[in-house]
């Protein structure tokens, strides 16, 4: 089991490096986040032994439980990548170093208000909807700059780092990620340092790297199939 995990991790990292070189980019520019949703904390601990330091979860309860169980592991950084309810903002902020899925003022406000007095600044990305299908969350591209202005003006405990998206089903991911790259360029007009692009999953990380992704969110290619869930 552990050997399989190590082999899958190494194979994905080799594909990432190859895709980066093919795109004329340095592999070291890329942050590979291992998405561990539905897998037990023991798998995250195993990944940590293999050198993984960035892991992603998409549900607050699972994030909180695993982060608490594994809090003794040094330098482990949790990324929250799922749709968030405002009433979970405090719990998300306690556990996560980065929230990829800010898509509305109310969520940004809730994350900001959840800061304890001495809390470190929280890195956030704005999730962009690359399709009109609202089911997966995200701000419409034409609302991106307004949301960014709100985060920068009204939420000083948040640090705006960039954009995030999931490629829509049924569309060439390269085309979708090209739109995300345009969103990133527009965002950087008003927020020059917000240059992270979180994109690329098991099925499309090569296309994401070609389109300028800086943060890859890769689950099943590394963890193996997710256990069944209800």
Binding site for ligand PLP (CB under 6 A): 35, 37, 58, 81, 166, 201-203, 217-221
Kindly tell me which of 104 and 217 has the beta carbon lying closer to ligand PLP.
217
Task: Return the residue nearest ligand PLP (CB atom).
Answer: 219
Query: Which helix (H) or strand (E) covers residue 13, if one does?
Result: helix 2-22
E strands present in the chain? 31-35, 54-57, 77-80, 98-102, 122-127, 158-164, 196-198, 215-218
Kindly tell me which of 212 and 219 has the beta carbon lying closer to ligand PLP.
219
What distance in Å separates the CA atoms of residue 79 and residue 151, rounded to the nearest whole number?
Answer: 19
Kindly tell me which of 98 and 115 has the beta carbon lying closer to ligand PLP.
98
Minimum distance, C-beta of residue 47 to ligand PLP, in the bound complex (Å): 14
Sequence-distant (6+) residues with CB within 8 A of 64 are 91, 92, 94, 95
Minimum distance, C-beta of residue 117 to ligand PLP, in the bound complex (Å): 31
**Phi/psi of residue 36, nearest 5 degrees:** -110, 15
Minimum distance, C-beta of residue 162 to ligand PLP, in the bound complex (Å): 15
Minimum distance, C-beta of residue 216 to ligand PLP, in the bound complex (Å): 9
């Amino acid at each position: 089991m552990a050997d399989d995990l190590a082999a899958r991790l190494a194979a994905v990292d080799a594909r990432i490096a190859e895709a980066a070189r093919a795109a004329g980019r340095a592999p070291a520019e890329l942050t590979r986040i291992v998405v561990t949703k539905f897998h037990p904390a023991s798998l995250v601990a195993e990944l940590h032994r293999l050198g993984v330091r960035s892991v992603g979860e998409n549900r607050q309860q699972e994030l909180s439980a695993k982060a608490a169980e594994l809090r003794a592991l040094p330098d482990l950084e949790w990324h929250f990548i799922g749709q968030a309810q405002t009433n979970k903002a405090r719990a998300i902020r306690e556990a996560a170093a980065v929230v990829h899925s800010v898509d509305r003022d109310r969520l940004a406000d809730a994350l900001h208000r959840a800061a304890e007095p001495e809390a470190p600044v929280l890195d956030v990305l704005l999730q962009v909807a690359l399709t009109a299908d609202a089911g997966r969350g995200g701000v419409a591209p034409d609302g991106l700059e307004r949301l960014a202005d709100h985060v920068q003006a009204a939420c000083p405990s948040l640090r705006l780092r960039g954009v995030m998206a999931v490629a829509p089903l049924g569309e060439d991911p390269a085309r979708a990620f090209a739109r995300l790259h345009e969103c990133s360029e527009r965002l950087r007009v008003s927020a020059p340092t917000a240059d992270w692009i979180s994109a690329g999953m098991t099925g499309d990380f090569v296309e994401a790297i070609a389109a300028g992704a800086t943060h890859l969110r890769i689950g099943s290619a590394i963890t193996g199939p997710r256990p069944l869930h209800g």
